Structure 1
């Protein structure tokens, strides 16, 4: 995940920017850069690789200037070269960016037709060139920024400096976090409190859609409608700077609201928005020839693997066996010659999953791991890894890491389908187009927070709760039940909706909420029929659906929450967010320890 830091100060900004970037190294990066205003003009220093290379560049050629921006970049669109490193810009503007600009190809074509000359392969440069075009047309920076923001689709945090405007920095966010730090005669911006901790303890977090003009005198903040607003300045504890909660009550709440940014950052690694194609790194096996895949993991990561099984079998037509790692290692199943395995983990240190990995390696299976920590044991012992760019996840109950895992598995399924010839180019482009919309649709799901909180008030009174789904939504029902159990301590079970008649319907009465995942699509009528059977027996149906499915469900459901209308392949990613958010609000109402639920640890490193 990219890191951003900015300074409007009295002395040289470069040393402060470099220190801020060092404190963002935990996010992972492969290039870095700094830009400052020197005598009113923009100068940059950028370097491929570690921050030591950037520091050496600054030592060789000093970069004065008291106003500046810095960035650590993950190479996700365009190679990890100095040319593609941030800050990007022109003679008039320079900026750093975290997130994904989904319509960058459209903007690039439009701006090139107007005479703007692009230099990099990144989506970020489209923002710089759009701003430059507005500035060249006669707009002042404070006019150009809202005009440009109105054209952007996707999730982003951006910090900008402008030629001739010493002592001014403009910042904006949508989907990605950004904080403003208030110092003594200096002002700062950063991706999180960690970057700002050495500089100030007084921090305000921009809210969704905000943009701010930061000067030595403070910050003027505007909302998405360009109306002046005030955001609370809080005193942050330096000891918690590495994992600050911002304006949120709990780490889990903060991490839930990071879904859009994390999904965008993760998808950017494997999806080329301009060509609508999946770009997977070299794999340790040939998807066109592999006879069978074994998917294994623990907890929520295993449920992500179950969704991946549905996708891979349906899209790529590869047989997939999915098993909990603790069972796989002791079941010791026969493994096919030339077979491969996909292991999923947030930490990459889970003991049972590591043991399963070693069993699979012993069985001469090629091992591909989906992990969030590239230096982890699992990453080191696998033949290859695909990273989820979720950043640190402090809450014990996995949230953003889960949807990032789903994003990677969706990209894998599409890439496998292309390799095996089961997916036409047209279908691949359609599926990747849907994936590109996932970050912005995730932000729309989070806008349903008030409705989900109202639903939580009903669920918090229950002793037992059932979650139902069909197809790839069945593992999401299991995820909803797991989250509710983990942090609220309410007994909950997830079932395939078609299994209701085979036993679980005996549990139905007016005291048992039934949480249904029922988007429109091929399985809608079957799932709705199962729900009607439950409603006929007094069940309280609470449904998550879309605009097309809502009218039919409202005839018998007690509550219907409408999510964005999407295709069936990406629906599991979006439906994971409200069930996690529901569990969070129920836990808050019950007064449990949301971030550190009893008996649980973040990473299970012993059996």
Structure 2
């Protein structure tokens, strides 16, 4: 969600801050700002526009120490007065990601002690708290004392006007990393913000506080003890976060899916058999003990989990349930120590999913597996087992390649568990491996349908509602298609199991309600055809994404997109692609901001 960039150097850091913020725009934001320390003063610039507008407003601003921020509003409306950085008495300035839960109590106390608040945010209390302790003479100590009073989640960076070459950074429940340079150092909430200056990074751990100056940095853990953290060399590069020949990042990432799937499947597609070790060293000991699966995820990742439930129960014969992470963490549940908890997250920092994982562990679940795209993320570090999706950086807010690679990872989990449970004969294992090797090229074939989908999108240009239908393991794909359409085109879209039409949604169907159906050539095809007839009988306009040999014919009010092939159990991955493209081209028709849809953020790191 919100983005943080900070830097200290023997040169003007404003270009570093602005470049970093521009690389974080994909996370979603409604205002931006920066502050630099210069000649013993804080020079702050804020804007409710894009980072480009902030760059114009700060054209004359220079300084060798600075922090910057893109804000996604939580406390207080989007406005310049609520934009970060926040300042206390012209001495302390703070940027903050996260939510301070006890800010009202702290605000009342600080107000009673003479502090004046100029914003509606929870963040401003951090600046005043640090200022109230700064008489101790150390920005590090003042920050540590202030943090001890906070309840909630935070990633912060702090500067003081009378300390021209030092900043403090800290994290708890929100991601933050330290960039290591040569005679200069940086901080950011995302590695992509620092690619311009370094690939050497330290991933700060929960509760860490770091004191940074030009030559050195010192890290202290939650107990205040000095600790060493490993310096990692990031595998990201500038090319991976550049737009290249594409019009939008979403379009680019849709087309990157064949390679992302190939990279994710590389560990198994070059071998002749499936082994538990692809999920971690402890998998051999844990998997044989597993009696059932509980998948915890949010949004698109939850839809991936819903597809996996069909696979796990049919192929592996293991009971599986899927829960929305934000709901699971707040309900009373009955723990079974033999349950494998699977968390799915693109960023590995999704606040609700991380909290759900911790809740599961507290209730007695010790078998944990993370399916994630970021190796050093919190969810990965806090899980015993992991499977990296290797989708590469995903910039567009609407997830595409992260989703399909999550599905690939979940299918591998299904096959490994099926094999351990004696439900995967050697011949069938080889057949599945063959299908997985073929998957990237099968997806490439689906991408050739792009011009036809672009043409279909014209029918949605004046629409305000849409209905998506699917059956069996393609129902979650209908859910995902509806989510994509509403996310980036702002068309209200709902998805239903096709068999539920007569139980309510059929009342919505008329000539102005396009109905999109996922129609694979599987055992439920004939049932689905009957459901589609129900739509046509009410004057509904059908858009059917059909496999070969489904024998659904084009007609007045029935538009058919013919898929190149049927992929059996892997069909959900193939059927996802045209739904992503449909949402993309409808958004172009509507003229919306495809990569940065309103009100949404890429990485949801607050509750």
Is 1:266–1:389's contact at 8 Å kept on the other side of the alignment? yes
Mapping 1:178-577, distance limit 5 Å = 243-269=241-267, 271-275=268-272, 277=274, 280-282=278-280, 283-284=282-283, 286-365=286-365, 366-549=367-550, 551-554=551-554, 558-577=558-577
Checking the alignment, whether the CA contact within 8 Å between 1:308 and 1:409 is kept in structure 2 is: yes
Q: Is the 8 A contact 2:269 2:436 kept in 1?
A: no
Alpha-carbon distance, 1:288 to partner: 3.7
Q: How many residues align?
A: 373
Please say if residues 277 and 429 of structure 1, whose CA atoms lie closer than 8 Å, have aligned partners that are also in contact: no
- Which residue does the alignment assign to 1:597? 597
SS in 2 for 1:390: coil
- The answer to whether the 8 A contact 1:465-1:490 is kept is yes
CA distance in structure 2 between the aligned counterparts of 1:389 and 1:264, rounded to whole angstroms? 9
Q: Is the 8 A contact 2:311 2:414 kept in 1?
A: yes
Residue 565 of structure 1: CA displacement? 1.6
- Contact map agreement 2:316 2:418 (CA 8 A) in 1: yes
SS at match of 1:520: coil
1:187-208 Cα offsets, whole Å, 9 max, x none, are xxxxxx99x999xxxxxxxxxx
Q: Deviations along 1:164-223, whole A, 9 cap, x unmatched?
A: xxxxxxxxxxxxxxxxxxxxxxxxxxxxx99x999xxxxxxxxxxxxxxxxxxxxxxxxx
1:339 is displaced (CA, Å) by 1.5
Deviation at 1:272, TM superposition (A): 3.4
Higher Cα radius of gyration? 2
CA contact (8 A) 1:312 1:413 kept: yes
Deviations, residues 249-271 of structure 1 (Å, cap 9, x unaligned) = 111111111011001111112x2
Residue 44 of structure 2 corresponds to none
Tell me if structure 2 keeps the 8 A contact 1:292–1:339. yes
Supply the distance in 2 between the matched residues of 1:475 and 1:572 (Cα, whole angstroms): 9
- Give the match's secondary structure for 2:322: strand
- Conserved in 2, the CA contact under 8 Å of 1:338 and 1:364? no
CA contact (8 A) 1:276 1:433 kept: no
Q: Deviations over 1:523-576 (max 9, x none)?
A: 111111111111111111101112211x33436762111112223300000111
Given that 2:344 and 2:370 are in contact with CA atoms closer than 8 Å, whether structure 1 keeps it comes out as yes
Q: Could you give the per-residue CA deviations for residues 15-44 of structure 1, whole angstroms, max 9, x where no partner exists?
A: xxxxxxxxxxxxxxxxxxxxxxxxxxxxxx
**SS in structure 1 opposite 2:552?**
helix
Q: Which runs of 5+ in 1 are unaligned?
A: 1-192, 199-238
Structure 1 pair 276/240, CA: closer, same or farther in 2 (3 Å)?
closer
SS of structure 1 residue aligned to 2:566: coil
Q: TM-score, normalised by structure 1?
A: 0.59
Alignment partners' CA distance in 1, 2:332 and 2:256: 38
Contact 1:508–1:537 (CA under 8 A) maintained in structure 2: yes
Tell me the C-alpha RMSD between the 2 structures.
2.2
Contact 2:196–2:238 (CA under 8 A) maintained in structure 1 = no
Contact 1:466 1:481 in 2 (8 A): yes
1:381-416 deviation digits (Å, cap 9, x = unpaired): 111111001000000110001000000001111111
Residue in 1 that maps onto 2:38 = none
SS in 2 for 1:255: helix
What are the Cα deviations for residues 574-607 of structure 1, in whole angstroms up to 9, with x where unaligned?
1111101110111111111100001111101111
Q: Contact 2:269–2:437 at 8 Å: present in 1 too?
A: no
Cα distance in 1 between the residues matched to 2:444 and 2:332: 42
**Structure 1 position 498, deviation (Å):** 0.9
SS of match in other structure, 2:549 = coil
TM-score normalised by L of structure 2:
0.59
Structure 2 contact 279–385 (Cα < 8 Å) conserved: no
Q: Match of 2:143?
A: none
The answer on whether the counterparts of 2:567 and 2:574 sit within 8 Å (CA) in structure 1 is no
**Aligned equivalents of 1:429, 1:385: Cα separation in 2:** 24
With over 3 angstroms needed to count, the CA separation of the structure-2 counterparts of 1:422 and 1:356, relative to structure 1, is same
Residues 209-249 of structure 1 show CA distances to partners (whole Å, capped at 9, x for unaligned) of xxxxxxxxxxxxxxxxxxxxxxxxxxxxxx98662110111
Q: Secondary structure at the match of 1:421?
A: coil
SS at match of 2:287: coil
